[in-house]
Amino acid sequence: MADAMYKTNKGPFVSLMTGLPGGGKTFLGILLVAALLVPLSNLLLPASSPFHVPTYLVSLMGKYVCFALLALSVDLIWGFAGILSLGHGAFFALGGYSMGMYLMRQIGDRGVYGHPILPDFMVFLNWTELPWYWYGFDMFPFAILMVMLVPGVLAFVFGWFAFRSRVTGVYLSIITQAMTYALLLAFFRNDMGFGGNNGLTDFKDILGFDLQATGTRLGLFVASLIALALGYLVCCFITQSKLGRVLIAIRDAESRTRFSGYRVEYYKLFVFVVSAVLAGIAGALYVPQVGIINPSEFSPANSIEVVIWVAVGGRGTLWGAVLGAFLVNWGKSYFTGSFPEAWLYMLGGLFVFTTLFLPKGIVGTSGTWIEKFKERRRGSPELAPAAAVKEE
Amino acid sequence: MMSTQVKESKKQDLTSILYLDGVSVSFDGFKALNNLSFVVEPGEMRAIIGPNGAGKTTMMDVITGKTKPDTGEVFFKGGIDLTKHDEAFIANLGIGRKFQKPTVFESQTVFHNLELSLKGEKGVMTTLFAALNDAEVARIMEILGVIRLTEKAGDLAGSLSHGQKQWLEIGMLLMQDPDLLLVDEPVAGMTDAETEQTADLLRDISKTHSVVVVEHDMEFVRALNSKVTVLHEGSVLAEGSLDTVQNNQRVIEVYLGR
Amino acid sequence: MRITIKTIIAALMYLLATQATAYADLADAAKGLLSKSYNEKIAATEAIAATGDAQAALLLETLLSGDLYATKSDDRLVYREKTGGGYQIRDIVTDEDLGVVKSGDIIKIRINNRMRGLIKDLLGRLTLLNEDPALRLKAANSVFKSRPKEMIVPLTDALAAEEDASVAAAMRRALAALNFVHGDTTEVQADALLILEEQANPDVRSLLSAEANRLAAIQDPSPEIQVLATAVSKALAKVEEKLEMLGLVENVFQGISLGSVLLLAAIGLAITFGVMGVINMAHGEMVMIGAYTTYVVQELCRNFAPDLLVYSLIAAIPAAFIVAGLCGIAIERSIIRFLYGRPLETLLATWGLSLILQQFVRTIFGPTNKEVSSPEWLSGAWEITGGLALTYNRIAIILFAAAVLFMLMLVLRKTSFGLQMRAVTQNRKMAASMGIRTGWVDAMTFGLGSGVAGMAGVALSQIDNVSPNLGQAYIVDSFMVVVFGGVGNLWGTLVGALSLGVTNKFLEPYTGAVLAKICILIFIILFIQKRPRGLFALKGRAVEN
Amino acid sequence: MLGLRKVAGAITGAAMLATSAFGLGSAQAADDVIKVGVLHSLSGTMAISETTLKDAVLMMVDDLNKNGGLLGKKVEAVVVDPASDWPLFAEKARELIEVEKVDVVFGCWTSVSRKSVLPVFEELNSMLFYPVQYEGEESSRNVFYTGAAPNQQAIPAVEYLMSEEGGNVKRWVLAGTDYVYPRTTNKILEAFLKSKGVAEEDIMINYTPFGHSDWQTIVSDIKKFGSEGKKTAVVSTINGDANVPFYKELGNQGIDAADIPVVAFSVGEEELAGLDTAPLVGHLAAWNYFMSVESEENDAFIKQWKAFIGDDKRVTNDPMEATYIGFKMWTQAVKQAGTTNVDAVRQAMYGQKVKNLTGGTAVMNTNHHLSKPVLIGEIQDDGQIETVWRTEDVVVGDAWSDFIPESAKLIADWTYPVVCGGCEKPMY
C-alpha cells in the first residue's frame, strides 16, 4: 500500500521497465524514428523532395549526436553528483584519438610516402619504427577496448586522488581544467607521436568501408544514435537506482551522506569513470564522421562549452542535456553560416539569456511550468532536483 | 572487520560504549578540546551542556571521525579506536549523528531519505542493484510512524517544517539502528509542544540505544532527566544529575559570569 | 643628432687637412654610395671613413640613421628636413642649401645589415676622442667587438687621455683584447689575459674559446705556446664561471618577471573570483579592454599631443582602470547581481559575455593586432655587465605589479570601503542589517577587480599582442594562480604567481617551454590534493560550501 | 503507450528545423550568379590573419562585378566563419559546396585547416585556392597552392645569409612554433645546411608552443649561442601570433640585426603593424611580395585595397598577393573554359599567367604550385620591408622537397601521362 503513494525502490531493472524519467520514452522514440527515417529519406526520397535529408546533413547530425552523448556524460556527473568537470573534453578527445589511431593504421601503405606501417607524419619526422603505444591499434576490437579503457583509466586515477583527498567545488573544476590543458599542450608536441597540431587525419576507411561512402555515413549516424540511446539508458539505470539517489544525496548534503555510512569518494569515482567512458565513446564515434582529431579538442574552452550545452538544456535532466547539445551546436552551425560576423553575439547572448531567465535550463524550467499545471504529482527525482540544486 | 576490532582492544574497561580519555584538539592555537575525558555506559542517556565554544560540536566531530584529535584516546564499544577511522566507517559501526542545523536530503522524498539511511551493506555495486524487500519497507513505515511523518512520506524533505526536518533526521538515525546516537540541539527552533514530543521520542529511543544529547534548553534537559555533563573551554567542568550540576559553584560562575 | 655632429667635428679637428681638397676626396669617395650594388657601397663607405674628413662622421651617421638621400636630378648626396612645401635639402658634404624639393625628387640611400655593422664600427673608431663619454664608451666597445689592429695606437693614446673611470675600463678591456689578438709575443698576450679573465662578458668568452681552439690545433707546439694555452684555458674557465653566476641571476630575474606578469593577470581575478566567488570567465576580456584603452590613449596622444606620447603609458593606467572598472560595474549591475550564490551560473553567463566582448572589440578595432609602442624609457636593457642585462620593461612590470598589489592591499585594509567589502564578504545579512549598501559594495568590488584587470592590460600591452584574443591567453593561467594561492587571499595570489613563475623559468632550460608548463600544471593538480583549499586557505564566499 | 503523437510532432518539428537551418531553400543556386565561397576564420585565434584575406576576396569580387562580372553573370561571394575550429572547417566546406553550391572556394590559413577540408574537396570534386606559404609535401587535384613552397622562401633566404652580402653566416638558430610547417621547413633547412658543410653543433633547433608569450629564456639562449665567435643568424618559423612578443623581447634584449640577424618566414607587414619596429630595423623577412615594392600593379593594388577597406593605414601582405593571383588566374581560367565546371577550369588553370604585383609573371604549374620570384627584405622603422635581394627569375614551386629523402622521389603533375599528386612513376 505504501507503493501506491510513492515510487518504492524495486531495483533499477524494474524502475527502468516501469517508467523512464520525464519525457524519457518520447526521447527514445525520437531517436528510434530518426534512426529509421533519416537513412530512408536519404536513400529513397529524391533530392528535390523537401523531406530529403542530404548526406552532408546526415554526417552533421551524426556529429551532433556525438556531442549529445558527451553532454549526457557531463550531465550524469554534474547534474546528479554535483561534480562540475571543466575537463571532460579530455576524455572525449582521448576516445577520439584511440579511434583515430585505428583509422590511421587502416590507411596502411596508402599514405603519401607509401610506408607500409608508419603513418605519414612519422615518416616525415624520421621515425624509424612505430612507438610501442601504437601497437595493437590495427585491430578494431583492441581499438574499441582502448576507446573505453584510456579515458576510464585516466578518470579513475585522477578521480582516485581528487575525491579521496576531498577536493570539491571550484577547486575540482579548476584542476580538471588543468588536466585537459596539460593534455592539450602535451598533444601539441610533435615528439609525442600523435601528429602534433595537425593531429590525425586523411582517414581512408573503417572496417573496410570507405569513409566517404554515403552508406558508411548512414551507418555511423545510426551507430551514434544507438550509442546515444544506450548511453541514455545507462544513465537512467544509474539515476533510477538507489545509487542514483545516493549521488543526489551527495550533491545536496555530502557530509550527511558520509555520516549515513556511504563512502562518498567511491560513489563519485564510480560515476566519474562511467561518465568518462561515455565521453570516450562519443569521441570515438565523432572522429570518423568529421575526419580529423587534433589537440584543439583538449582546449579548456571546448570543455566549458559542453557544460554550457548541459546548462542550456537543463542540468540534471538527462535528455535536456541532449537537447541543449543539439540546440547550441545547431545554432553554431546556422549562425556561422548565416551571420558570420555576428554569430558570437548571438551565441554569447544565448548563454547570458539562459542563465538569467532559464536558470534550470529549457527542460528544467518547462518542467516546473508543467508541474504548475499538473496537480501535485511528484516523485520523478530527475525534475525536482534542478529546482533545489545546491551549487558546488 | 571483527578481527581488527579485537586487535585494537585495549586495557581499559570493555563495558563502556563510548570512552574518551585526555582528548585535545586545537585549531591554529585555539584549544577547542582540552584534555577532555568522559565515559558513556551502554543504554545510558547523557545530556551535555555548556556555553558556546565549550567544544560540544568539536567533541562530536572527534567521535564521528570528522576531526582527528591531536592527543588522547577515543574508544567505541570498549575496543574500537575511533581515531583510526573515517566518517563512513564509524557510521557503519553504529554511531549515528544528528547535526545542529537539521540536514536532510531536501530534493528527495521523506521515504527516500529514510531508505537511504537504511542499515546494511553500502558498497557502490550493492547500492546500484539494491531493491527494497518488504521487511525493509515495513521498517521504513515503522520509523515513519515513530517520527510522525507517515502522511508526508511522499513529500520532498525540503518542503517539511523545521521541526519535522529535525524529526526526519532523527528518523534517519534510527534507520541506521546505531548503538550510539549523537544528537546535537534537537529542539532548536521547536515549539514547546514539539519540544515535549521530542523529549518523549528521545526517552523512548534511549530505552534501546545509548544517546548523547547536546542541548542549551535547560527545560528540555530536565525533561530528559538524565545524567548531565557540563563542558567548559574544552574540558569537563562538572558531571552528575541536573540539580547537582546546577548547584555546582564553578558551573554557576561559568554560566552567570564571575 | 646636431650636437653629436658638432662634437664630432670638434673632436676630429686635429686630424684635418685643408677643407677644399678634403671636400673633393670625400665627394668622390661618397659617389660609390649611389651604386646599386651593396659591395660598391661598402667600398665607398670604407673610402669615406679613410678620408678622415670632418664631414665623414656626419655622412656616416646620416647614412646609418637612414636620413641620407640623393637628388634624382644631379646625384648629389643630401639630408632633408621637412618644411611646409616639401623637404628642405642640404648637401651633406658642403652643407650648401639646395632649396626645397618634393619627396619624389630625392631617393633614399639604402643600406643593409653588413653596412650597418661596418658603419657602426668605423664611427666607433672616429669617435674615440669624442667629448661625450657615452659616445667614447660606444666607441671603445665597438673597437672591442671588431678589434682592428691599426686601432692599437689610437686606443692607447685615448686611454692615456681618458679620465672617466668606466670609459677607461672599457678602453682597457678593448686594448687588452687587441693586444691579445694581435700581440706578437706571448708575454703581451699573457698580460692581456690578466685583464680579460676578469671580464664577465660573452664576447670575451667567445674570444678566448676561439683562441683556445686555435692554440689546441697547433701541431707540436713550442713550450711558451703550451704555457699560453694553459693560461688561456684557465682564463676561459674563470670567465665561464662568472657567466654561470650571472646566468643564475638572470634566471631568477626572468622567473620573477614572469611571476609578476602572472600576478598582474591574476590579481583582478583574485577579487572578482577569490573574494566575491564569481567564476569570472570575462576576466581576460577586462585585461584586453585595458590593453585597448592603452592603444586608444596612445593614438589620442599621437594625434593631439605628440610631445606627450612618452607619458601616454602613464596616462593610460588610470584610464584603463576607469574604463575596465566601469565595464565591470555595468556587468555586475546588469548580470552578476542576479546570480549570487550560484557561482556556476556566473561561469556560464560570464563565458557568454566574454564571447560578446571579444567580438565587440573585433567589430570596433578590427581583428588585427594594434601597435602599442614602448616609450624610450621602457625599451632597451640595463647592462649591469656584458653578461647580464635586465630589460627595462620587465623591471617596470615587476615594479608595477608590486605597486598594484600594494595599492590593493591599502584599499582593502585601510579604507572604509575595504572594511565594508570584507564585511559583506564574511556575512552579507549582518552587513546589510548594519546599514551597509551591499548592492553598492558588490558593484564597487566587482568594479575594483575589473579595474585592476584593466591596469594589467596596460602592462601586458608592452610585452604581448594587443588583439581580441589577448584575454583568452591568460584566463586559464590566472585561475591556476588564484586557486593555487588559495581563493580569497591576495598574499596567496602573490606567492602563487611568483613561485609558479620562478619554477617555470628554472624548468625551462632543462625541459623546454612546453614540458615546463605541463610540469607546472601537473604540480598544481597534485598540490591541490595535498591542500584542497590552496596555499593560503582563507574563507571567502567562494569556499562557503 | 509510446506517446506517438508527441513523437510525430517532434519529428516534423526537427525536420522543419533542419530544413530552415540548413537553408535547403537557398540551395537552388540561381543560374545567373557565379558563387565564390570564402572559408576564412573571422573569429578565434586565426581571425587576426584570415579576416584580411576574406576582405581581399570580397574586394576582388567587387572589382570583378564592377567590370561586368564573369561570363556575363554576377559573381557573388558566400562568406562563412569556421571560427578557427578545424572540424568546423570541414563542416563549413561541405556546406559551401553542397548547400550553397559554390563554384570555387578561397580559404584556409593553417595547415591543419587545409588538411581538415582536403577530403571534402576531393570527395565532392570541388576547387580550393590556398593562399598561404606552407610546408609543401602535398599536391591535391582539387587544391591550387598560390602561396610559397619551402623552396620559394626558406632556401633562398638561407642562401642569401650565407653569401658575402648577407654577412656570410656560419652558425644557425632554427626557431619555430611546434607544428608541421616549421618542422618541415627546419628539416629541409637542416638537410640543406649540412649539405653546405655546416657542422651539427652550429645548428640550434628550438620549438615553442602556439601563442608563446614569454620569450626571455629563449632569446637569451640565442644570445649565448650567438656569442661563440662565429657569425650567427636566426631562421624564424614562429607562427604569427607569437611573433610580437618575440620581437619585443629581441628588441629589449638588444639583439641587433647587425650582430644576429633574424630572418622570418611568417612575419609580414600585417604582423609588423602590431608592433613598434624601430628596434627591429635590419631584421629580415623572405616572401614573394612586399608592400614596399614599387610597380604600377602594386601601387594600383594598394590604392584599391586602402579605398576598399576605408583605412589609409591598412597594409597589404604576401598572402593577399597570393589571393589576388589565385583569383585572377581563376577568372581567366573560367573565361578561357567558358564555364565554371571544375574539371574544365582545372585544365584551363595550367599554364595560366598573371602579372605579379612585384613585377614578373606568375605561372600556374601542373603540380598546382606557382612559379614566383623570391624577395628578401629588411624591416624598416616604418613597419615596411625593403627588398635587399631578389631572385633574377621566378622560382618554380616544388610540391615535394628534394631535401627529404622520402619525398625527393615523388613527382606531382596532374597532366597526362603522370596525372598524380605524389607518385614515383607516371600513372600511364
Closest CA to B133 of A9, A354, A170: A9
Question: What's chain D's average pLDDT?
Answer: 87
**Distance from the A30 Cα atom to the nearest Cα atom in chain D, whole angstroms:** 6
Is-contact A51 A223, C-beta < 8 A? no
C-alpha cell at C213: 681552439
Domain encompassing residue A339: 20-388
ipTM here: 0.87
Residue D233 within a domain:
yes
Give pLDDT tens digits for D17-30. 444 444 444 444 45
C379 neighbourhood in chain D, CB within 8 Å? 251-252, 278-279
Chain A segment 176-215 residues within 8 A of D by beta carbon are: 185, 188-190, 196-199, 201-203, 211-212
Residues 6 or more apart whose CB falls under 8 angstroms from that of D6 comprise A26, A29
**Do B103 and B186 touch, CB atoms closer than 8 A?**
no
Give the residue with greater pLDDT, A336 vs C55: A336
Tell me if D136 sits within 8 A of D198, measured CB to CB.
no
Inside any domain, residue A7: no
Mean pLDDT of B86-113: 89
Q: Which residue has the higher pLDDT, D2 or D422?
A: D422
Please, is C364 exposed, middle or buried when counting C-beta atoms within 10 Å of its C-beta (0-12, 13-18, 19+)?
Answer: exposed
| Residue A2 domain-assigned (yes or no) | no
* pLDDT grade for A150, boundaries at 50, 70 and 90: very high
**A384 with B107: Cβ contact below 8 A:** yes
Out of B86, B99, B153, whose CB is closest to A6? B153
**DSSP string covering C51-110, please?**
HT-HHHHHHHHHHHTT-EEEETTT--EEEEEE-SSSEEEEETTT--EEEEE-GGGEEE--
Tell me whether residues A10 and B132 touch, CB distance under 8 A: yes
List the chains bordering chain B where 3 or more Cβ pairs fall under 8 Å. A
pLDDT at A213 exceeding the cut of 80: yes
What is the rounded distance in angstroms from the CA atom of residue D71 to the CA atom of residue D83?
A: 33
Residue D283 sits in a domain whose CATH number is 3.40.50.2300
Q: For residue A14, tell me if it sits in a domain.
A: no
pLDDT at C3: 46
Q: What pLDDT is attached to residue A43?
A: 85
Q: Which residue of D has its CA nearest to C121?
A: D258
Q: Is the dihedral of CA A370, A376, A382, A388 positive or negative?
A: positive
Mean pLDDT of B1-13: 43
| Res A141 pLDDT > 90 | yes
Lowest mean pLDDT among A15-24, B166-175, C284-293, D226-235: A15-24
D53 CA to centre of own chain: 10
Contacts of A341 in chain C (CB under 8 A): 363
Residue of D nearest to C67 (CA): D381
User: Mind spelling out the 3-state secondary structure of C106-128?
Assistant: EEECCCCHHHHHHHHHHHHHHCC
Chains contacting C (3 or more CB pairs within 8 Å):
A, D
Number of domains in chain A: 1
Cα dihedral C249, C250, C255, C258, rounded to 10, equals 150
The pLDDT tens digits of the residues spanning C523-535 come to: 999 999 888 888 8
In a domain, D246, yes or no: yes
Backbone angles phi and psi of D205, in degrees to 5: -110, 135
CA–centroid distance for C346 within its chain: 38
Find chain D residues with C-beta within 8 A of C116's C-beta.
257-258, 282
Identify any residues that bridge with B75 across adjacent strands, giving them in sequence order: B19, B81
What's the average model confidence in pLDDT over B105-134? 88
Mention every residue, 6+ apart, whose C-beta is less than 8 A from residue D29.
D35, D100, D101
Phi, psi of D118 (to 5 degrees): -50, -55
The answer for A 221-280 residues in CB contact with D (under 8 A) is: none
Cβ contact (<8 Å) for A188 and D210? yes
What are the φ and ψ backbone dihedral angles of C77, each rounded to 5 degrees?
-80, 125
| C492 to chain A, closest Cα gap in Å | 15
pLDDT at C542: 34
In A33-52, the residues whose Cβ lies within 8 Å of chain D are 33-34, 37, 50-51
How would residue A360 be classed by pLDDT, with cut points 50, 70 and 90?
Answer: confident
Using CA coordinates, name the residue in chain A closest to D187.
Answer: A125
Residue C544: the pLDDT is 34
The answer to whether the beta carbons of residues D271 and D243 sit under 8 Å apart is yes
pLDDT category of residue B257 using cuts at 50, 70 and 90: low
Chain D nearest-CA residue for C39? D165
**Whether B100 contacts B66, CB under 8 Å:** no
Low-confidence ranges of chain C (pLDDT < 50): 1-3, 9-18, 539-545
Q: Strands D375-379, D385-390: parallel, antiparallel or unpaired by DSSP?
A: antiparallel
Regarding beta strands B71-76 and B18-27, do their DSSP bridges make them parallel or antiparallel, or are they unpaired? antiparallel
List CB contacts (< 8 A) between D15 and chain A: 51
Residue D309 domain-assigned?
no
With 90 as the cut, is the pLDDT of residue A45 above it?
A: no
Instruction: Tell me how far apart the terminal alpha carbons of chain B are, to the nearest angstrom.
Output: 50
Domains and CATH numbers, chain B: 2-256 (3.40.50.300)
Q: How many other CB atoms sit within 10 Å of the CB of residue D168? A: 13
Q: In Å, how far is C112's CA from the nearest CA of chain D?
A: 7
CB within 8 Å of C188: residues ≥ 6 apart:
C179, C180
Q: Does A358 touch chain D (CB under 8 A)?
A: no
When CB atoms are compared, the residue of D52, D252, D259 closest to C381 is: D252
**Cα dist. A326→C479, D10, D18, D45, D120 in Å?**
30, 14, 11, 25, 23
Domains of chain C: residue spans and CATH: 2-115 (no CATH), 132-220 (no CATH), 246-543 (1.10.3470)
**Mean of the pLDDT values across residues A109-135?**
87
pLDDT (0 to 100) of residue A101: 95
Query: Which of these, C499, C517, C497, lies nearest to C508 by C-alpha position?
Result: C517
pLDDT tens across D176-218, in order? Answer: 988 888 988 998 899 999 999 999 989 999 988 888 888 988 9
In a domain, D34, yes or no: no
The pTM is what? 0.88
Grid cell at residue C447: 568594479
Cβ within 8 Å of C, A 64-103: 84
Task: Collect all residues of chain C within an 8 Å Cβ-Cβ radius of residue D218.
Answer: 513
The answer to the question of residue A12 being in a domain is no
Q: Write down the pLDDT at residue D54.
A: 95
Is A47 touching B (CB cutoff 8 A)? Answer: no
pLDDT for D236 = 93
Least confident of A296-300, A363-367, D301-305: A363-367
Query: pLDDT at residue B6 above 50?
Result: no
Largest separation between any pair of C-alpha atoms in chain C: 95
Most C CBs within 10 Å: which of A355, A365, A391, as the mutation test of the C interface?
A355
D354: in domain: no
Shortest CA gap D224–chain C (Å): 7
Is the bond preceding D417 in cis, omega lying within 30 degrees of 0?
Answer: yes
Whether D38 is covered by a domain: the verdict is no
What pLDDT is stored for residue D16 in this prediction? 45
Angle in degrees, CA C353, C355, C357, rounded to 5: 70
Residue A11 within a domain: no
Rounded to whole angstroms, how far apart are CA atoms A62 and A289?
7
Q: Which 145-174 residues of chain A touch chain C by CB within 8 A?
A: 158, 161-162, 165-171, 173-174
pLDDT tens readout for residues A233-249: 999 999 988 999 999 99
In a domain, D71, yes or no: no
How far off is chain A from B249, nearest CA to CA, in Å?
A: 38
Distance separating alpha carbons of residues A365 and A283, to the nearest angstrom: 30
Q: Kindly write down the DSSP assignment for every residue of B18-60, as one continuous string.
A: EEEEEEEEEETTEEEEEEEEEEE-TT-EEEEE--TTSSHHHHH
**Conformational region of residue B79, where left means phi above 0, alpha means psi within -120 to 50, and beta covers everything else:** alpha
Which grid cell is D13?
A: 518539428
Identify from A289, A336, A341, A362 which residue to disrupt to test chain D contact, counting D C-beta atoms within 10 A and taking the largest count: A336
The nearest alpha carbon in chain C to D377 belongs to: C112
Q: Describe the crossing of helices A242-252 and B110-117 by its angle, rounded to 10 degrees.
A: 100
- Summarised one tens digit per residue, pLDDT across range C438-477 is 889 999 999 999 999 999 999 999 888 898 989 888 998 9
Give chain D's domain count: 1
Contacts of C469 in chain D (CB under 8 A): 44-45, 47-48, 211, 241
The predicted structure's pLDDT at residue A186: 93
Q: Specify whether the CB–CB gap between B69 and B33 falls below 8 A.
A: yes
Which residue segment(s) compose the domain that D252 sits in? 152-287
D-proximal residues of C, 378-417, CB under 8 Å: 379-381, 389, 391-394
Under the banding of pLDDT at 50, 70 and 90, the label for residue A6 is low
Residue A200 lies in a domain: yes
* Chains touching D (3+ CB pairs < 8 Å): A, C
